[in-house]
Structure formats: C-alpha cells, structure tokens
Structure 1
C-alpha cells in the first residue's frame, strides 16, 4: 500500500475526517485553523467554513447537517448557518477542552475531553495533568460520563461487531479495548491492547469491515498502523507526512483510506524542508471500511 498526497490542505491540525457517501465528499476540521473542510473527491470542489472557536470533531446527522465539537460545546450546524449549542459535557471543568468525537453505531455522539493544550491564539499550552474522560450524548441531549477523568490526550473511537469499544491515550502511547454494552449504553473491562508501539504516538483511527483498527501515528510516526482488535500489528503504511492525525474510508466501495495531518508545533525551517505537512493523503488499501453512522436527530 502506498500513500499519495490527495489535497494540500495546509492544516494546522487536520482532524475528525468523515466520508459522506450521499455527497461523495469528505468533511474534516482544522482545529488550529478554526475551519471546517468539505472536499468532493471526483470534482475536487473544495469549500471551507470558519468556526467561532476551535473545532475538534464533526459527525453527520440523520436529519441533515452536522454535529460539531468545539472547544467546550457540542453544537448542531448547517453549512453557512450558525452553531447552535446542543450540549456541554463538562460545564464545571473550565481547564479542559473537547478533543475526539464520533457518532456511535446507535446514533449517539461520543466525545472525549482533555486538559486544554491550546492558548487562545492557537499556540501550544503546557499540560500537567490527566483529566480527560469519555462522554455519550444521546439524541435527546442527555449526557452520560462513561469513564473517570483519568486520561491525557484522548483519541480514537471505534466499535467492533462483537461490542468492543477501542480508545487511545496519546500521551500514554496506549490503545485500549473496553466491553461495550449496547443495551445499558456503558463500557467496562478496560484492557490495554497496544502499548509502547515504537512509531510515534496514537492519534485518530477508523475501523474496517474486518474489525481491524487503522491508527494514525502522530508526533513523528509518519505512518498508519493496522491493528487487529486484539492489538496485533498486521500492516504499516509509510506516509510522506510526519504527523498523521485522523483517517476514514471513502470512495464508491469504501476502499480508499483518507488521512489528515498536522503542522502544529513545527518550525518554519522544518516546514520549508517538508512542505507537505498538513496535507490530506489517500491510500488504496484493498480493504473495505464501514458506512459512517449518523447522529439520530
């Protein structure tokens, strides 16, 4: 498998990429750039929308439009429209911000938090504690905390067919598997399935139709690693960018892996020598992804 640059997005932190089969288009956010992208893969039409705060995640809604995580608020949004506040997972933890977010198979929206590592101008802010947690937001707006506030940089959300929930802590360099109860809407029995993998650190992921996790290896990892649901490395795809951040399967048969990347914290000298950082990549995998769920309202 070989990766190629599909679109030179120049994202500060490209994240949370999803595939809209209805539109044959990709959507993703640029956290540091405070914008949402839309790219039609066949026509190359590219649109962006500014966001009022740092956008951290995006998911599609069944009724049309999107659910979007900002710095602290989860909003409902239509392109060219306003961001309407829908839920605030941690109103009493002002030092935290939202990070990963994804629509779950049951149509709820799961978001995770972390200690805020961004200053108001988008520059890095030092972290000194692990205060991140995972939350489930029901289409009614009900918020349920699923874990303790015990994680560093929260990343990766995927659900297997046998009801395991896969999740990662970037700072710990670990990927976890939880038992997921779709009736009780809870997770339990955390097991570490990947630890101290030597290529960078775990960032965003997606899952394929064989329940294998495709995990972006950020902070110099320059690769996407494919792990079984038990944590066995089965493939490693080298990338022409050093900070891949998030990925999704798209295309007519959901066999192309699209990967976002970041330029965050990189020096002008590094960017001059590596101008593709922050690009969107495409990989023909020979594997198939699964259809992206939509939020149930």
Structure 2
C-alpha cells in the first residue's frame, strides 16, 4: 500500500496540474462500485482499506456523494448503502420508452415457462447493454449483471437486432468492430456473421451457442417497432446441458410470440407518446365563474357552453373567437344540445333555446325543477335523472314533461352521457366517485368504474369518436380516458385544477373542448393556475391516435 503522506502529496500535485476532476471522478466511481456490490457491509474506514486511498480523500468523496444522494448510512450504524437518488436516475435508463417496465410481464412469463433466466437488452453503439432480467428457478441459472455490456456479435440478442436493422446501419456497426474471441466459439469473421444474420432473418430468432460464456446457450428474438425496426431484444439463457439445441428449437415459437407481443406494446406506448406530444392547449375567452356543459353543434360546426353563475351562454365557431349569446336572469341549472342545432338551457326552471343564428328565446316546455343530469340520446330524445331518497331513477323525458324511468341506482347521479351508438348510457355519482353503465335491454345498472380519490373527483363525462369514455377530474388537474373495463387508460394533464365539462368536436371530432371553473379556486392556487375559468381547446388528433392504437393491439 502506498505511503499516505506521499499519496496525498501526489494527489495535491495532480490537482494543481488540472486533473483533479477526472482523478476524483474515477475514485468516486470505485467507491460507488464497492458500496453497490457490498451494500450495508462497508464503512468509510473499510473503503480506505479497500481502495488504498488517503483517509481524507475517501471521507471527502463519501461526504460529497452523500450530499448528492448517491450514498447513505444504514439506520443502525455507519455502514454505507447506495442512495435513493439512484432510483430517480434509474427511471431514465433504457431507450426513449421504459422498456424494462413494458417487458416485465413477458420476462416473468418466459422465466416461469422455461425455468431459465429471461433477459431484455438494447443496442448501445456496437455493444449490447442489459436492461432487465427475470432470474430462473435453478440454483445455477444465468445471472448476468444489469447494465453490463457485451459485444453485439457474441450474443443472441445482438445478432437478433443486427439481423433486422437496415443494411447501411449494420455496415456502419460492423465497420466499427474489432472482432475478438470472447470464447473459442465466438464468431470472429465478418462474412460468417453476415451469413448467420441472413439465417436469423429467415428464422426469426438467433442462438448464442457458448459464444459469450462457455457452457451457456441462449436464444434471442428482436422487439420490432411500428416501422419494423428493432428497439431491443429478449432472450432466455441457461446451461448448455439444459438448453440443448433441440430445446432451443422448441422454445423458438414461444419467444417469437413474446417478441411480437412486446412489439405491439411498444407500438401502443409510442402511439400514446406521440399523441401526448401533439397535444396543444389553447385557452380561449374570458374566465368564467363556473364554466360547464360544452356541446358540439354538428349542424353549424360550433361549440356551445355556459357559465352557470354569470349566468351566460357562449358559442364559438372555428375562428376561436367566443361570442356571448345571452345573459340569463338567474343561475343555469341544466343545458343540453338542441335537436336542430343550438343549445337548450334551463334557467330558474324555465326552458330557453339559444343559437348563433337566432340568439336566445324562451320556449314553451313544462317547467323543470326536480330533474338533473339531462342528456340527449343520439336521435334526439332527452334523458334525465330524478333523485329520490338518496337514490336515482334514470329515464326518458318527453317534451310534455312525461318521465319514463328505465333504470334505478342507489346513488345520487350528477352527470350522464350516451355512447355515440346510442346503446349505453353512462351515469356519474360525483361524491362516490362511481361511474355506472346502463345498456339498452338490460334492467340492471352496473358499476363500470370507481375513480380513486387520489385521481381527483370525477365531475363530467363525454365520449370520443371511437366511443371511449372520458372523465373530467376536479382537483386532479386533468381529464382521463377509461378503457372498456373502466380503468384509467390515459390522463391528459391540464393547467387548471377544476375542469368542469368536456366534449369532442371539430374536424373528425379530434378537438377536445374543456370548460373550467374559477369559483372555489383559492388565491394561492390561482397563482399557479391563472387559466382557471377559461375554455381550453386541445388538439389531440384522437381519431388518428386511437385507430393506430387499435391496429397495434
């Protein structure tokens, strides 16, 4: 071991010569490697002995790493552990998408099916880097370290990726390689490798026959994106005496199917990401006290909405210039689209019709006081909810005020909307966070979804052009799309805490209009949400995005 005084003097000289950064960085990496390989086993004093570095240097590095969250002391003593900051950084490992998360279920399935270790790896330069694994059940299972790199030509994963890359990219990678034998079985000849890639391309899978580790065989398949380009590869590895060539041939169809399923998930993830990146949110008009009930008028290609408490009715064509249609004499309790265009509103129990062409006028319909959650079924019939004794009756409401109940639920319903095909009615109980689904011809109303409190309070519903259900989330700062099982499938983040209504409209119904409320938003929150109360126009290309997702799955 070098003399400490001499070493400290040498380090000081190095720092004066400008190599301080690089030298300390390498020492810090050595310390992190030691702590990571022996978590909770080493103290700073142990690191001094293990590294041969000066005590002052080790303590200085450990203090700096601790301050940045890269190392931490155990609860009961001074033995060191890796810090939690690594968890933050780990979320960014991999490619542009979280491949490890996407592949986790398939890796576990392959492990359970084979008993061997399943791996996920991606190409980095001309090497393969391990991103995830599911360790096999056997004591002598393959246990390659995550983050480790291997030559692309010496692994089944690397060869599987090379076989499906564009020819020019493959040439670039091979030109950068220096072929070195990892074992006696490693392919070290470019021509032999290219012949092997041709076979892999035809068969759909690659084999590592002890080319990386003597005694270990591996079968790998690529994960292809929507363009047919490999983004990663999965493999199953085990001892050669268990992973016989015959067994590998038998496993090939299973791995190819797994790779294909992961490819579909990658396409779906990418479709969502592309969709998310294209969202453009435009605030329009003046801030409303309590914006609500937006409706798309297909007859006139415009959107109508109300401010319940102003109270006022607004409309907007595709010029993005909101127009005040009418100032009402009292609070607006209900609104719904009119059959021939425009909007019906209920103000102090009386019905009014408003449109860009005719303005606003009172119409002769029975006064309405006890009904709520009015909506229009495709075809024009009006549906309403009557709340009695804490429960609700839901049914059709004629122009003469005759109510014909169809379903009964044990909760108070606040909002409802019909599917575009007119076969399903969705009803929302805000306080309970419940969304019911009612089908024509079915007597019982079923609970479709329970929105978690942490996601926000569900306060409004709509359906998109693909008949998927969307819900606005008060205090959730967003709107969510639900899948057919009622689970939150996607969340669109908004710059307002209280989105109060939503509707799809515009060309191909690819624009989402969201009303919001300013009333009830505290002053401090308004500083962070100055758009509260505005109408938000969001271009999300929902029709195209959903069709691409549907094709992927």
Which structure shows the bigger proportion of residues in helix conformation?
A: 2
Pairing 1:274–2:529 present? yes
Is 1:251 matched up with 2:506? Answer: yes
Taking a change above 3 Å as real, the CA distance of residues 208 and 81 of structure 1, as seen in their structure-2 partners, is closer
| Alignment partner of 1:238 out of 493, 498, 511 | 493
Give the drift of 1:132. 5.1
**Aligned equivalent of 1:166:** 426
Alpha-carbon distance change, 147 to 260 in structure 1, aligned in 2, over 3 angstroms: same
Q: Which residue of 2 aligns with 1:14?
A: 291
Q: Do structure 1's residue 41 and structure 2's residue 322 form an aligned pair?
A: no
Match of 2:465 among 209, 227, 249: 209
State the structure with bigger RCO (CA 8 A, min sep 6), 1 or 2. 1
State the SS of the aligned residue for 2:436. strand
2:547 is equivalent to residue 287 of structure 1: no
What's the counterpart of residue 359 of structure 2?
A: 80
Residues 255 and 285 in structure 1, CA contact (< 8 A), matched pair in contact too: yes
Asked if 1 retains the 8 angstrom alpha-carbon contact of 2:376 and 2:418, the reply is no
Which residue of the partner structure matches residue 131 of structure 2? none
Match of 1:110 among 383, 393, 409: 383
Structure 1 residue 133: Cα displacement: 4.5
Residues 240 and 63 of structure 1, relative CA distance in 2, 3 Å threshold: closer
1:14 shift after superposition: 1.2
Distance in 2 (alpha carbons) for counterparts of 1:167 and 1:192: 9
Alignment of 1:108-257 (within 5 A): 108-112=381-385, 130=390, 133-139=393-399, 141-148=401-408, 150-152=410-412, 154-159=414-419, 161=421, 163-181=423-441, 188-197=443-452, 198-218=454-474, 220-257=475-512
- Within 2, Cα distance between the matches of 1:178 and 1:149? 10
5+ long unaligned stretches in structure 1: 91-95, 116-128, 182-186, 290-297
**Alpha-carbon distance in 2 for matches of 1:162, 1:25:** 22
Which of these two proteins has the greater Rg computed from alpha carbons? 2
Q: Give the superposition deviation at 1:83.
A: 2.1
Deviations 1:150-196 (A, max 9, x none): 53351231225372211110000111111224xxxxx6311111114
What does the per-residue CA deviation read over 1:220-269, in whole Å, with 9 as the maximum and x for residues that have no partner?
Answer: 01111101233132211111011111111111221111111112322344
Shift of 1:147: 4.5
The CA distance in 2 between the partners of 1:43 and 1:246, in whole Å, is 18
Q: Is the 8 A contact 1:259 1:281 kept in 2?
A: yes
Quick one: structure 1 residues 239 and 10, their matched pair in 2 at CA, closer, same or farther if it must change by over 3 Å? same
Moved more, 220-229 or 75-84: 75-84
Partner of 1:126: none
Is 1:137–1:143's contact at 8 Å kept on the other side of the alignment?
Answer: yes
Q: Which moved more, 1:264-273 or 1:201-210?
A: 264-273
Distance of aligned partners of 1:54 and 1:47 in 2 relative to their CA distance in 1, 3 Å threshold: same
What SS does the corresponding residue of 1:189 show, helix, strand or coil?
coil
What is the match of residue 308 of structure 2? 31
Distance 1:131 1:74 in 2: 26
SS of the residue corresponding to residue 525 of structure 2 reads: helix
Structure 1 pair 160/60, CA: closer, same or farther in 2 (3 Å)?
Answer: closer
Indicate if the aligned counterparts of 1:76 and 1:86 stay in contact, CA closer than 8 A: no
- Separation in structure 2 between the aligned mates of residue 52 and residue 276 of structure 1, nearest angstrom: 26
Unaligned runs of 5+ in 2: 1-275, 545-553
Residue 12 of structure 1 aligns to a residue whose secondary structure is: coil
Quote the Cα distance in structure 2 between the aligned partners of 1:149 and 1:165. 13
The range that moved more, 221-230 or 79-88, is 79-88
Structure 1, residues 97-144: CA drift from partner, whole Å, max 9, x if none?
x543221113111233669xxxxxxxxxxxxx8365434222454322
Paired residue for 1:100? 373
Q: Provide the rounded CA distance (Å) in 1 between the counterparts of 2:467 and 2:322.
A: 32
Give the aligned CA root-mean-square deviation in angstroms. Answer: 2.8
TM-score (norm 2): 0.43
Q: Distance in 2 between matches of 1:162 and 1:143?
A: 19
TM (normalized to structure 1)?
0.77
CA contact (8 A) 1:8 1:276 kept: no
Range with bigger deviation, 153-162 or 195-204:
153-162
